[in-house]
Structure 1
Amino acid sequence: MVLKVDVKLVVLEADEVIIRKVKDKPVSIKICDLIGCQTCEEPSSSLSSLFMTPPNIVIRYISRGQHYKWTAETVEVIGSKENCEALKNEINNKLGQEKERPKKLAVFINPIGGSQTSMSVYSKVVTPLFKAANITCDVMVSERPKHMIDLVSGFDTASVDGLVVVGGDGTLLEILNCLLTRVQKEAGLDYDQPSCKLKPLEVPIGIIPTGTGNGAATGLYGNNDVVTAVLHIIRGQTNYNNAQAVYSGRKLVSFSGGVCVAYGLFSDIIYHTDRNRWLKRARYVVVPINILLFKRQRQFTAKVTVFPKEQNTDSSDEDTDATGREESAATEGKEAEFSSNLIGVASFGVDFLSVATDSKLDFVKATQSSRKNGGFCLFINKRTSRTQFLTHFFQLMTLTRSAFEKDFLSTHSVRGYKVKVLSHDESPQANSQEAEINKLVDVDGELIEIVDEEYEVWNHMRIIKFYTCF
């Protein structure tokens, strides 16, 4: 929507801009929802000005729609150059007083993630909006696998107001692992110990969702819309999210940005999808369907030790450590399960079980709830028929309550858990593909090797600072 108004109808108040007599109803725009105000360029020819009055300045602002989708709207202002210039300066001075707003960002782009559209999306969608908001950017583009780690490792985060990741969950994971590990080392913390209270990131991170998996962005912004994500970053409001840390062999092997940590079926799907790149984008559909419908699902027996989420956990309690539990109570409420005929163990950073209803899950509300209650959800899948599992698999797309109410599914709201694989239904030969898969855990879509088929996952509360207004 583009409004065209006379400068005399635009009134700047203390905390809002009011545009009067637009269809007889004033339009009020909060200062915090303004993107920016710029002078328009002169018309390229005098001919165009004969048929219409060119605007002197343009005001861009945020409009909120359904399903958390935000759009950037435009107001074209005409009038004397003096009055328009004065209005522009007043608006931009107001925006300059918004302390949360970033003025300089470091942008890390993964050009080959997802549909390989990151560069195009950044130049055509992101750059114009950042320019309208008077945000300058240092842009870095990865050129090879793991190059993103090198780029982030050598970057001084204190030189910018925040970081922007143009990519998906895998790109975000690389950056989080690099930054969180660096912060703990600089603080002299023994971060290989699950009970260690970790230091939070001070630099905020925004996500432009252009990857194959964009679960982290969905939790932050309510959808995978690029414009919505950019507008959250421009607005500058931040919130701290929890992170899960994966430990194996008495070491921290990876953080999780709150998407998924999985062993068994889900890691099998990631493994085979990654090795069928010749299928390009089709592999993300073809491989899972082939595994779910035609391949024999491997089964295993495991000891799963569950540490239930504590009741009435308050993340603002400074006496509670980062894993959401008192140090003296680290082993209370422990439940051990020896489970056979398992096909998968998976946890998700959001505690779906606490917020699930009969309607489609609201990811924003689920993320907000998980920030406070100190828990995340754990699913233990036992062997069942293909029909039952496929029904369950597709129900997980909406995450309604019925998706969790299955006889073959054991569900838990936890603050941590441990997994020790004891045996497999078929013993693989050494150095075989099956033996390799048995040593891998899926963390946010990336495969991480574990030691002796044993690992543990713990929640660390409020340690990742994200750009999000929710």
Structure 2
Amino acid sequence: MSDVKKKKKKKKKEEEEEECKEEEEEEQHVKEDEKHSECVLLRGIFKLGKKSHDVLLSRTKLTWIPIVPENPTGEACVPQPGVLLLRDVYAVKVKRRRAAGQQSGGAVLGVALFCCRRKGRLLEADTLHLHNASTEHTHTWYNTLKDLITGPSSRPRYLKVFINPSSHKKEAVHIYREHVAPLFKMADVRTDITVTERKGHALSVMKECKLDGYDGVVCVGGDGSVAELCHALVVRAQLDAGSPEKPVTAVLPLGIIPAGSTDVVSCSVHGVRDPVTAALHIVLGHLQQVDMCSFSSLGQSVHFGFSAMFGFGGQCLARAEKKRWMSSSRRREYALVKTLARLRPEDCQLSFLPAKKSIRDKEPDSEVDESWMTNQGLYLSISIMSVPCLSPHTPRGLAPNTSLANGSAALIAVGNTSRSEFIKHLKRYSSSSGQFSFSFVETHDVSAVRIRPRSLVAWPEEESEEEGESKTSPIIQSEAAAFPWNIDGELMEIANEVLVRVHPRLITLYGEEVDESESTVSCSCI
């Protein structure tokens, strides 16, 4: 063996030994940290209910064991301990006996720990009462517990809250006051509230207000409100960084309190449409980094969001927007039926960049043309989604194989087919699976998509039901005509090609990623 090969082999062996040594040291540090976190900080006697318990407190959990008198028969009785993880505790208070109308003072009764209990994806508020009449003993435990639960930096202390009073059934203000505000108050979270008055109000406030003192932003509303605030957070980050052309990661996390009709983003990050669950994720500081998409046309930024629908989805929303006087469910069903009745494909060029071919460290314009894949043809629907898009109407999500932060989006392109086959495809979203097992449906994991309509063809603004009028022929418009797009549930009309690009972990949301919604509600429209 040559000296060069011997040296290479020796060097490789030394590198492997060094790696093993680093791994062993890291494992040792982890073990020491775990041992340190499990050290008992306090131990005392408290009553839980009517029974006395031996209670132990470490840095990560509270454990209580019933105190059982010795059995005269000598048989050993080993009681089962109770455990509460401190990561699930959002507030601790001193319990006192007070007379009716008494606001302060009173005899000390012990400590109350306010925590969350998990029930599937649902988080429920719960309380653990530790009874002890000793003032000194109680305050020692209270102060130690308070220090431990306020330690995590991800837990917010001051939040900017936006409430859309017009969302869905105009219940947002009630939802906030009844279900969210009490939890924020209990967790000592201060709030600065803005009740929005119009579309774009939250965006204008976010562009101008000082964000230094806030730990996060909260949106109480539907998908439209969420889309506006997500867009606003990224735009504000761009303004602060002096980078209007390039997306900048949002500085503050966003909490979403569902108060809309579908609440797609909320369902995707919480798994359930429940304001208490959403509020508990916020006060406990559960954070989830999420991918977002930028939407641009002819080099000009249009929006930042999570999902977009071209063709059927855009046409449905455009029709629904013209019937705002209807209830949301009636409006949705009307638009769905009308669009299916006048079903027609869009002739366009569809180009996409597969996720595995993404060159994320370079500027967008530096990607070589050969890496794009292009198809030309008739499409009934094209959807791009960087989140699963769970909702009560689609329990498994519109894009069930997409996660919140995998750096890619799902492209679902539905080619031209018969109305009956297209309806079969749609119905499978609300049942089990198999919505993509059609020859006319193609799916891809992508990092960018470009949609270029071949001709500016717009559908009629008003449909006449008079006999003899054509209901299938498109109307050729002028160059100013625009195609309807459904971007995060908001209607946008764009006349030219649209470029959609995925930006990994562009925003942080309060919540945790889910694989599938627990909702069993299905759409009855079809």
TM-score grouping bracket, smaller chain normalisation:
0.7 to 0.9
CA contact (8 A) 1:6 1:77 kept: no
Task: Indicate the residue corresponding to 1:136 in structure 2.
Answer: 190
CA deviation string 1:164-194 (max 9, x = no partner): 1111221121112222123223323252xxx
CA contact (8 A) 2:408 2:504 kept: no
Task: Indicate the residue corresponding to 1:356 in structure 2.
Answer: none
Task: Indicate the residue corresponding to 1:371 in structure 2.
Answer: 405
* Counterparts in 2 of 1:290 and 1:117: CA distance versus 1, 3 Å: same
Q: Are 1:15 and 2:63 counterparts?
A: no
Q: Secondary structure at the match of 1:262?
A: strand
Q: Are 1:439 and 2:488 counterparts?
A: no
CA contact (8 A) 2:314 2:484 kept: yes
Whole-angstrom distance in 2 between the partners of 1:32 and 1:130: 16
Q: CA deviation at 1:80?
A: 0.5
CA contact (8 A) 2:52 2:66 kept: no
CA contact (8 A) 1:222 1:362 kept: no
Structure 1 gap ranges (5+)? 47-52, 314-318, 353-358
Task: Indicate the residue corresponding to 1:37 in structure 2.
Answer: 92
Q: Are 1:468 and 2:508 counterparts?
A: no
CA contact (8 A) 1:200 1:464 kept: yes
CA contact (8 A) 2:53 2:66 kept: no
Counterpart pick for 2:356 among 290, 307, 310 = 310
Q: Are 1:403 and 2:441 counterparts?
A: no
TM-score (structure 1 length as normaliser): 0.83
Q: Secondary structure at the match of 2:405?
A: helix
Question: Aligned letter for 2:124?
Answer: T
Q: Secondary structure at the match of 1:298?
A: coil
* Counterparts in 2 of 1:392 and 1:5: CA distance versus 1, 3 Å: farther
Q: Secondary structure at the match of 1:212?
A: coil
Counterpart pick for 1:349 among 361, 364, 386 = 386
Q: Are 1:450 and 2:497 counterparts?
A: no
Whole-angstrom distance in 1 between the partners of 2:275 and 2:233: 24
CA deviation string 1:120-165 (max 9, x = no partner): 1111111111122111111111122322222222222221111111
The correspondence of residues 39-118 of structure 1 with structure 2, limited to 5 A, is 39-40=94-95, 42-45=97-100, 56-66=110-120, 68-82=121-135, 83-118=137-172
Counterpart pick for 1:419 among 431, 448, 451 = 451
Q: CA deviation at 1:414?
A: 0.9
CA contact (8 A) 2:398 2:429 kept: no
Q: CA deviation at 1:99?
A: 1.9
Q: CA deviation at 1:31?
A: 1.4
Whole-angstrom distance in 1 between the partners of 2:177 and 2:87: 25
Aligned length: 431
Whole-angstrom distance in 2 between the partners of 1:243 and 1:224: 21
Question: Aligned letter for 2:183?
Answer: L
Q: Are 1:124 and 2:167 counterparts?
A: no
* Counterparts in 2 of 1:466 and 1:446: CA distance versus 1, 3 Å: same
Q: Are 1:200 and 2:249 counterparts?
A: yes
CA contact (8 A) 2:233 2:252 kept: no
- Share of identical aligned residues, percent? 23
Question: Aligned letter for 1:79?
Answer: N
Whole-angstrom distance in 2 between the partners of 1:336 and 1:108: 42
* Counterparts in 2 of 1:119 and 1:190: CA distance versus 1, 3 Å: closer
Whole-angstrom distance in 2 between the partners of 1:4 and 1:386: 63
Whole-angstrom distance in 2 between the partners of 1:116 and 1:458: 34
CA contact (8 A) 2:162 2:194 kept: yes
Question: Aligned letter for 2:381?
Answer: G
Whole-angstrom distance in 1 between the partners of 2:282 and 2:401: 21
Q: Secondary structure at the match of 1:339?
A: strand
Whole-angstrom distance in 1 between the partners of 2:321 and 2:499: 24
CA deviation string 1:216-257 (max 9, x = no partner): 11221222222211111111132321111111132010111x
Whole-angstrom distance in 2 between the partners of 1:98 and 1:364: 34
Question: Aligned letter for 1:462?
Answer: R
* Counterparts in 2 of 1:34 and 1:213: CA distance versus 1, 3 Å: same
Which sits farther off after the overlay, 221-230 or 54-63? 54-63
Q: CA deviation at 1:398?
A: 5.4
Counterpart pick for 1:277 among 324, 329, 350 = 324
* Counterparts in 2 of 1:110 and 1:55: CA distance versus 1, 3 Å: farther
Whole-angstrom distance in 1 between the partners of 2:67 and 2:54: 9
Whole-angstrom distance in 2 between the partners of 1:17 and 1:365: 38
Q: CA deviation at 1:201?
A: 1.0
Whole-angstrom distance in 1 between the partners of 2:241 and 2:361: 16
Q: Secondary structure at the match of 1:310?
A: helix
Q: Secondary structure at the match of 1:278?
A: coil
Which sits farther off after the overlay, 208-217 or 83-92? 83-92
Counterpart pick for 2:347 among 293, 301, 317 = 301
Question: Aligned letter for 1:411?
Answer: T
Question: Aligned letter for 1:246?
Answer: F
Q: CA deviation at 1:285?
A: 4.0
Counterpart pick for 2:413 among 370, 375, 380 = 380
* Counterparts in 2 of 1:148 and 1:119: CA distance versus 1, 3 Å: same
Higher relative contact order (CA 8 A, sep 6+): 1
Q: CA deviation at 1:8?
A: 5.6
Question: Aligned letter for 2:353?
Answer: F
* Counterparts in 2 of 1:330 and 1:208: CA distance versus 1, 3 Å: farther
Instruction: Answer with 1 or 2: which has the greater Rg.
Output: 2
CA contact (8 A) 2:316 2:336 kept: no
Question: Aligned letter for 2:508?
Answer: K
* Counterparts in 2 of 1:363 and 1:236: CA distance versus 1, 3 Å: farther
Counterpart pick for 1:179 among 216, 233, 241 = 233
Q: CA deviation at 1:286?
A: 2.6
CA contact (8 A) 1:213 1:445 kept: no
Q: Secondary structure at the match of 2:351?
A: strand
Q: Are 1:158 and 2:205 counterparts?
A: no
